[in-house]
A and B are shown apart, each in its own frame.
Chain A
Amino acid sequence: DAGVIQSPRHEVTEMGQEVTLRCKPISGHDYLFWYRQTMMRGLELLIYFNNNVPIDDSGMPEDRFSAKMPNASFSTLKIQPSEPRDSAVYFCASGTSGFHEQYFGPGTRLTVT
């Protein structure tokens, strides 16, 4: 299995620009999670989906962040407009009902200048 796939691996953008991060979960998994990792705040859960439906988005920092899962094999996290404080590594993870472990992608390192 290819594991969780994220793209791009690195993104550098200027403040005010729109950023879209992409994730392909492991085939057959019905849970998908978006996390943000920074030195200051550690790992933060932003939002998660079950069967393509958003279940909990209480971790989304503000309205500039949005996430979608149009089908079982694809999800996006969008930041519009981006700000320097959004600089972080963003991870996508997937899991399956009945098993509580999550499998993480390699992450997208976002730098907003």
Chain B
Amino acid sequence: GDSVTQMEGPVTLSEEAFLTINCTYTATGYPSLFWYVQYPGEGLQLLLKATKADDKGSNKGFEATYRKETTSFHLEKGSVQVSDSAVYFCALSDPDYKLSFGAGTTVTVRA
């Protein structure tokens, strides 16, 4: 079945550092891909999405490109802030609208 694998954390960075979180997927069709972010004590928030190959999703300085040839959707941000400390989840959607989530990557940004 469909699945998502993302890099394990935790990841600790200094402010203004470059962030990359790797995500690869396995799917039989052409899923939509997502990154969600979860701040402490809150629900998951949609960060960005891409619905077809070569689409680039972007939001709040974060970017991810749907790479069909490598079945990847890596999340990047050029200069992180303390407020970016959170858990990040990669996810894909199957044709029945169910989401498959990665295990989550905890990111801590130090001032």
Which residues in A have some Cβ–Cβ distance to B below 8 Å?
A: 4, 31, 33, 42-43, 45, 48, 50, 55-56, 91, 93, 95, 97, 100-107
Give, as a whole number of angstroms, the nearest-CB distance from B33 to chain A.
9
State the majority secondary structure of interface residues on B: strand
Contact B44 A91 (CB under 8 A): yes
Residue B46 CB within 8 A of the other chain: yes
Chain B residues, CB < 8 A from A50: 97
Distance (whole angstroms) from the CB of A1 to the closest CB of chain B: 14
Question: Is B71 positioned at the interface, with any CB of A under 8 Å from its CB?
Answer: no
Across-interface contacts of B44 in A (CB, < 8 A): 43, 91, 93, 104
- Complex CA distance for A106 and B32, rounded to whole angstroms: 24
> Which residues of A sit under 8 angstroms from B89, Cβ to Cβ?
43
8 Å CB contact of A55 from B45, B96, B103 = B96
Q: Contacts of A43 on B, CB cut-off 8 Å?
A: 44, 89, 101, 104
Pairwise interchain contact B99-A45, C-beta atoms closer than 8 A: yes
- The answer to whether residues A101 and B103 also contact, given A55-B96, A106-B42 and a CB cut-off of 8 A, is no
B41 to A: closest C-beta gap in Å: 8
Residues of B within 8 A of A102 (CB): 46, 97, 99
